[in-house]
Every structure is written in structure tokens, then in C-alpha cells.
Amino acid sequence: MNEQQQLRRYIDVTLRGFYNDELEARGLKLKDYIDLTAGLVNKNEELDYSNYAYFYNMIDGSPTKKTALDFGCGFGRWIKYFDKFFKRVDGCDISPYLAGLARQLCKQEGIESSIYDVAYETLDNIPDDTYDVIYSLSVFQHLPVKTLREAYFSEFLKKLKTGGYISIAMGSGAFHMSNPEKTTSAKYEDNFYDCRWTNSRCDVVGLNKRVVEKHLRKIGYSSVSIKEELCPHWEAREDNHICHQFNAFIKAWK
């Protein structure tokens, strides 16, 4: 099995399997899934992010004139949150199940948004040169395959307008706080194609800022900024995500 076949098997079996079979088998509906998920839509609005780098990275310049793409949008919680800041927020997700929930949520909230299904390591169904901002929150740390993350960085470059930027927030913790015996982890440079779990069951640790910056510049980003900070809510939460102690904020311009 070559590298692309391994990559696509990982996507089909691990990512789509986790976010389709497991949830559908439990008969989850939109409200049930929102209530179940750790990052509730309502809780997102209650948390104080005023001094947090989410806003430093996502909301700068004149956001009301900008069009954004939420990569890994899930059921649409951040589309709902950021819709009030940007001119428009579209979304995409690798799980047809979650993309369908995002469409339902946007319809319920009266949000005009295009939600795209992500096929594999490409974003061919999303128009090129379209977005001022492509952001992704708490997605990349749950992808323990470096090849896949790097493929998406390349795809983002195609979808950005000239002068647009990506803003990626991903965990970069080094240890597991609550249930170390129930989880595993992958180093940032690993290609863990055989991983059969995601989202707290196998998280990425040990991000190397120099490696990431070198790669982004090599593939064509003109400027890169990477910073790390302690998650402001870390000490107050019981978290079984290995990567949530620190957050790395990756920002790069086309």
C-alpha cells in the first residue's frame, strides 16, 4: 500500500468512521450533538476571549469586509460565532454527517453560508482565490498525520485571495492530564496512518515552530507568524485532550 492509499484509508476508516458510524449508531440529532460536544455553541459565547489569541488571529483589519472559510467546521459552532464579525463565513468538513449538521444549524440561525464536503487531502470543490481568511480551530491537533496537515496547508494557499491569510489554532501540549492510560499521542512529524481513534484518543504533541515555518515558506506563504500560549481555561477544566494545555497560533499570508 503506497502513501496515498494509506492516507485515504486513514481518512475513510478513522475520520469518517468516527464522525459517522459512532454518532449515527447512537441516533444523535442536531440538538443532541450540540449538547454532547465539549465546545457548546452557547458556552462559546459565554467564555471571555477578550485577551485571547483567537481574536488576535481571526479578527484584525476590517473583518466585516472579509470572507472567511472555517476548515473543519464540524456542526458549525464557530460559523455561528464568527458570522457576526465577518462579511460571510463558509465552512467545510471531512465528515458528511457533521457538514449536514452545519447546514441545519446555519438554516436554523438564518446564516448564509456554503458548507463544503472535504473529499480527501484536496479541496477541489472549493473555489480558488476566494477567501480573505481561512481559519481552523482545534482541528489540526486531532490529525496525527503530518502529510495530511501539510497537504491542507498547500490547499489553503490556492483558496486564499492574494494578501489573504490562514489562521490555525492547534493544541501543542506535551502530556495528558487526566486519563493517560486511555490515550495515545503522535509527535508533530509523525505519519500515524494506522491510528484508529481521533479527538482526544490520539492527539498531536510537540509542535516545532521552526519546522512549521520552514514548510509554510517553502510552499509559498510570504510571511509566517507562530506563537504559543497557555490555554486560559486550562486550569479550570477537566480535559482528556492531550493537546489542550497550550495552544499554538499559526498565521501565514499569501
Q: Where are the domains of the chain?
A: 3-253
Q: Structure pTM?
A: 0.84
Residues 207, 188: Cα–Cα separation, whole Å = 5
Task: Report whether pLDDT(159) > 60.
Answer: yes
CATH architecture of the domain 3-253 equals 3-Layer(aba) Sandwich (3.40)
Could you identify the residue written with the cell 481574536? 55
pLDDT, residue 196, reads 72
Among the ranges given (13-22, 27-36, 99-108, 187-196), the one the predictor scored with the smallest mean pLDDT: 27-36
